[in-house]
């Protein structure tokens, strides 16, 4: 009778809970093994980014090869503007094919903060949060956890959905008000990709990128753009427009308690492919990737390059001002 009772208890446990099968820990362990023990993967999808009241949409392709090779291609769907983040044996690069140039970073990217388009980063955030939540239904596994975006502290959590084959379906990064700021919808994941020789090399990439992108070059600054947010006690003190080779430059000097300089400059493609060494980290900003250092931020939007620098403002303050720069002309 006792053996019968134990047998019935076991059957009940199996029917109700699966006795731990496909439990949270099992799913997370299987995800980690699938991504980190494999030879690599290629993931395609769409990414929607909310910046203030503006929404930017991208086509995304993430390629990863074991031994620390990454290539993430982001194509803005509104203008076909393409940028590529690359990590190989030579370092970390942000390539802008339309301008025939690349920034080169001495950086720990992608390991120094969360990355919504990288499976390793998503899983690492799940593993590092002992207060994460987990639920499953007939079709999906859904996790929520904290995230680490030091360059955007308003982003605090993620909600990620995997199907029963442990393929990512969706990743949503939310702010402190639970508003989605980044939404990745996955179209396909191949965990057995075959990469051609030199696939992760710059010369190979630049020789095969699309030539259909709309031109982003400009020769004149028709409307000066001013930040909508200024540090308290700081105001515009001087504005100067100067001619440069093939274009124009505007220098805005802000003085007061938190002085800074904002330079706006027309963009021109390089005659020959150029790699520009830079100090800082790659950061997604407005509709492109920019460069963030301890005291400056540099990004390109709408054919204009913006450079913001200050000796007294910290990164959070720089980002707050830069985020308020509206690409449409506004009043001073």
Each residue's pLDDT, cut to its tens digit, for the chain (332 residues) gives 555 555 555 454 444 444 445 789 999 999 999 999 889 999 999 999 998 778 999 999 999 999 899 999 999 998 888 999 999 999 999 999 989 999 999 889 999 899 999 999 999 999 999 999 999 988 999 999 999 998 888 899 999 999 999 999 999 999 999 999 999 999 999 999 999 999 999 999 998 875 555 546 677 888 899 999 999 999 999 999 999 988 999 999 999 999 999 999 999 888 899 999 998 999 887 778 889 999 999 998 888 999 999 999 999 999 999 988 865 443 33
Domain of 140? 20-208
pLDDT at 238: 97
In a domain, 221, yes or no: no
In a domain, 46, yes or no: yes
Are both 38 and 161 inside the same structural domain? yes
Separation of alpha carbons 32 and 11, rounded Å = 30
In a domain, 1, yes or no: no
In a domain, 118, yes or no: yes
Q: What is the CA radius of gyration of the chain?
A: 23
Phi, then psi, of 136 in degrees rounded to 5: -135, 150
Are both 201 and 260 inside the same structural domain? no
3-state DSSP call for residue 27? helix
Are both 99 and 187 inside the same structural domain? yes
Separation of alpha carbons 212 and 208, rounded Å = 12
Separation of alpha carbons 283 and 298, rounded Å = 10
Are both 198 and 300 inside the same structural domain? no
pLDDT at 17: 44
Are both 174 and 312 inside the same structural domain? no
Distances (CA, A) of 272 to 98, 100, 102, 275: 12, 7, 11, 10
Are both 113 and 261 inside the same structural domain? no
- Sequence length of the chain is 332
3-state DSSP call for residue 199? coil
Q: Model-level pTM?
A: 0.86
In a domain, 330, yes or no: no
Assess contact for 321 and 223: CB atoms under 8 A: no
Are both 204 and 246 inside the same structural domain? no
Are both 39 and 125 inside the same structural domain? yes
- Kind and range of the H or E element at 48? strand 40-51
DSSP state at residue 26: H
Strand order through the sheet with 40-51? 133-136, 140-146, 155-163, 168-175, 180-190, 40-51, 54-65, 69-76, 82-88, 91-96, 101-105, 274-278
Query: 289: Cβ–Cβ under 8 A, 6 or more apart, which residues?
Result: 74, 83, 85, 94, 282, 283, 299
The string over 19-47, giving b where at least 16 C-beta atoms fall within 10 Å of a residue's C-beta and e elsewhere, is eeeeebeebbeebbebbeeeebbbbebeb
The string over 207-219, giving b where at least 16 C-beta atoms fall within 10 Å of a residue's C-beta and e elsewhere, is eebeeebeebebe
Distances (CA, A) of 247 to 97, 217, 303: 20, 10, 11
Separation of alpha carbons 106 and 90, rounded Å = 10
pLDDT at 268: 87
Are both 60 and 197 inside the same structural domain? yes
Question: Domain containing 54 — which CATH number?
Answer: 2.50.20.10
Are both 45 and 173 inside the same structural domain? yes
Are both 134 and 261 inside the same structural domain? no
Domain count across the chain: 2
Tokens of 18: 């699966």
In a domain, 159, yes or no: yes
Are both 198 and 250 inside the same structural domain? no
In a domain, 4, yes or no: no
In a domain, 136, yes or no: yes
Separation of alpha carbons 199 and 67, rounded Å = 14
pLDDT at 296: 96
């Amino acid at each position: 009778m006792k053996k019968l009772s134990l047998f019935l208890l076991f059957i009940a446990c199996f029917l109700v809970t699966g006795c731990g099968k496909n439990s949270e820990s099992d799913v997370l362990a299987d995800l980690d093994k699938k991504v980190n023990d494999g030879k690599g993967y290629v993931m395609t999808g769409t990414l929607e980014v909310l910046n203030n009241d503006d929404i930017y949409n991208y086509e995304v392709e993430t390629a990863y090869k074991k031994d620390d090779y990454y290539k993430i291609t982001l194509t803005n769907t509104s203008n076909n503007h393409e940028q590529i983040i690359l990590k190989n044996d030579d370092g970390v690069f942000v390539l802008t094919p339309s301008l025939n140039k690349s920034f080169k970073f001495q950086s720990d990217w992608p390991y120094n903060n969360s990355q919504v388009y990288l499976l390793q980063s998503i899983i690492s955030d799940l593993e590092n949060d002992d207060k994460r939540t987990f639920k499953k239904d007939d079709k999906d596994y859904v996790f929520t956890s904290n995230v680490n975006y030091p360059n955007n502290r308003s982003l605090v959590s993620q909600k990620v959905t995997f199907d029963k084959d442990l393929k990512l379906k969706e990743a949503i990064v939310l702010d402190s008000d639970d508003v989605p700021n980044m939404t990745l919808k996955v179209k396909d994941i191949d965990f057995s990709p075959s990469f051609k020789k030199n696939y992760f090399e710059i010369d190979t990439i630049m020789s095969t990128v699309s030539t259909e992108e709309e031109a982003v070059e400009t020769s004149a600054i028709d409307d000066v753009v001013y930040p909508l947010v200024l540090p308290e006690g700081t105001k515009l003190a001087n504005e100067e427009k100067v001619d440069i080779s093939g274009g124009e430059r505007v220098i805005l000097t802000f003085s007061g308690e938190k002085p800074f300089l904002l330079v706006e400059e027309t963009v021109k493609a390089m005659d020959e492919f150029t790699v520009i060494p830079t100090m800082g980290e790659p950061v997604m900003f407005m509709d492109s990737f920019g460069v963030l250092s301890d005291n400056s931020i540099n990004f390109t939007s709408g054919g204009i390059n913006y450079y913001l620098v200050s000796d007294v403002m910290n990164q959070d303050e720089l980002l707050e001002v830069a985020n308020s720069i509206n690409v449409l002309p506004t009043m001073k």
